[in-house]
Structure 1
Amino acid sequence: MADIPDELIKLERSAVEAHAKLPGLDGEAYDVQWKAWRTAAEDFQAAVTAYAAREDVAMSRCEVEQVVKRAVRHPQPEG
């Protein structure tokens, strides 16, 4: 797997965790959590865009996003 910054992993984890809290909520509680999820997702997307724009990064923006999401959602066992 490509060497990706821990910060991108943390931001995606935050977005995934915020999204996981949505089911079962309604009304104002849902609205508050939805905004938290949206903010976390926007922060992740902005960080991916900035990282992919660096001259020392050979992957496209899409590839960076896919690698990070795969690492968070389907972690490989260490060993």
Structure 2
Amino acid sequence: MADIDLPADLIELERAAWTEIQAGALTVETALAVHQGVTEYAAREDVEASRLEVETLLKRIVRHPQPDADAA
């Protein structure tokens, strides 16, 4: 996978969607905002990753966070 540096606002959108999903209350507006954010980010000229790669990384970051390496 390409080296992708996701913007904080996109991560926050996915966190909001994940919270809604877990509560069984995902709205169309939230899902659409995430989808549009991922699509727009992947379409940028300086991003060398597909929309699928961006979305996969975003979900991994939010749904399966890595333990903080500095906390060890």
TM class, shorter-length: 0.7 to 0.9
Structure 1 distance, partners of 2:68, 2:4, is: 15
The amino acid that maps onto 1:43 is A
Large movers: runs of 4+ above 4 Å = none
Identity of aligned residues (%): 46
Shift of 1:38: 2.0
Q: TM-score, normalised by structure 1?
A: 0.77
- 1:58 equivalent to 2:42? Answer no
Q: TM-score, normalised by structure 2?
A: 0.83
Count of residue correspondences? 67
Structure 2, unaligned runs of 5 or more? none
Structure 1, unaligned runs of 5 or more? 23-32
RMSD over aligned Cα, in angstroms?
1.4
In structure 2, the partner of 1:5 is 7
The amino acid that maps onto 1:16 is W
